[in-house]
Amino acid sequence: MDYIIGELYFFITYTDDNLLYPKIYSVVHIGKNLDDEDDEELWYFQDAQTYNEIGAYPDFDKKGSDTGEVDIYSFRELDLEHVKTPKTLYDELEECFSRRNQNK
């Protein structure tokens, strides 16, 4: 999948081993291999709130966000399966709800 800089994506994890309780983060793709010390290919994403408030890392205004924190996530190619488009997030959630219904 080709990730587009500035585009909104969703990072999904689960709070349990049975994949019944998802935790979803809104993130914006900000580039690839942004750190000179990266020794492998890494895709970078920033939390959507601070991206919207102060711009993209590392070019944002140094004023900081209301929370004072900027969350930057980096993913190896293997881990990109957890970064979803709106469509693939929808599909993932449908699968999750199907698993939940099976466990009732």
What per-residue confidence (pLDDT) applies to 22? 97
What per-residue confidence (pLDDT) applies to 54? 86
List, edge to edge, every strand of the sheet that includes 43-47: 72-75, 43-47, 22-32, 8-14, 83-84
What per-residue confidence (pLDDT) applies to 84? 97
What per-residue confidence (pLDDT) applies to 57? 82
What per-residue confidence (pLDDT) applies to 61? 54
List the pLDDT tens digit at each of the 104 positions of the chain. 899 999 999 999 999 999 999 999 999 999 999 887 878 999 999 999 999 988 888 776 555 545 568 899 999 999 999 999 999 999 999 999 999 999 77
Q: What's the per-residue H, E or C state across the chain? A: CCCCCCCEEEEEEECCCCCCCEEEEEEEEEEECCCCCCCCCCEEEEEHHHHHHHCCCCCCCCCCCCCCCCCEEEECHHHHHHEECHHHHHHHHHHHHHHHHHCC
